[in-house]
Structure 1
């Protein structure tokens, strides 16, 4: 996955609208379905938990299908990009110990994966206004730059592909 610059205000506005829309759709849809089922199939004991749960499950599935169907719509471009970036960074995080060990030995793929991870994390944290641990990231980036210079490796995040993680 390639890192691209996205408009932070557009991303935040669209993400907030999608989240609010999904929340409202879940509330309205689950109530509508469960109340319809309760009216059609009343329980003499007064317990309608199963109808309420079914309403929530069906509505959540419908929302998921709707988001899946329209995931490539222009309105969701930034939201989908950040979702995929988080997934890509999680793949790297799961292999971080092995990557860091290989980077210490000068493995170019490990160094590239770490560079991508740091660049992607920096972008993600700026988009979410989460700059609390940016100093720690800058320290790790400086260490990575030192390793890259030591082993004479040029790091370009555009060269990163998820497939290099298979080795680690």
Structure 2
């Protein structure tokens, strides 16, 4: 994965629209699927049910929610490569990659302390990606920590007299760190 420039206003607008669409879609589809399942397979003996008690259709409502999730996931998979979703999907993938790196961060930092090039490349990518995501998500509270980490890493790279570029990063490099 390579870092790309993202238009912040377009990303925020599209992310908000996707979030609203997902919430609305899940809500409406869950209600529709639940109602259809209850109409087809539910308990209709309303005269036997006291006010405020369970109708016994919980499993059908849950199945309706599951169907709604499947439909929404199917739609998201189909539209993820569209121009509208480009920025949103890129940031989702970048955050997922950050999670993978974070799970190995202790061993990566240990290797970077030994001036291993791959570890330095991974950390450079990680911090640059964090900086981009924090900027896009308006996370100004932790931006100074990332800036400090970047400065420390750049100092370490200069001390080791190595050249590190973000273009060198490849996800396969993570396999060496557990």
| Paired residue total | 168
Scaled by the length of structure 1, the TM-score of the pair is 0.96
Is 1:14 the equivalent of 2:23? Answer: no
* Structure 1 residue 41 displacement after superposition: 2.3
RMSD of equivalent CA atoms? 1.0
Q: Does 1:118 align with 2:124?
A: no
- Map 1:144-163 → 2, pairs under 5 A: 144-163=153-172
- Aligned counterparts of 1:62 and 1:42: Cα–Cα separation in 2: 22
Q: Which runs of 5+ in 1 are unaligned?
A: none
Question: TM-score, structure 2 length as denominator?
Answer: 0.91
What is the SS of the residue equivalent to 1:75?
coil
**In 2, Cα distance between equivalents of 1:41 and 1:137:** 55
Deviations along 1:86-114, one digit per CA (max 9) or x if unpaired, are 11111111111111111111101100100
The answer for unaligned runs of 5 or more in structure 2 is: 50-54
Rounded Cα–Cα distance in structure 2 between residues aligned with 1:133 and 1:20: 27
Equivalent of 1:101 in 85, 90, 110: 110
Structure with the greater alpha carbon radius of gyration: 2
The DSSP-based 3-state class of the residue aligned with 1:74 is coil
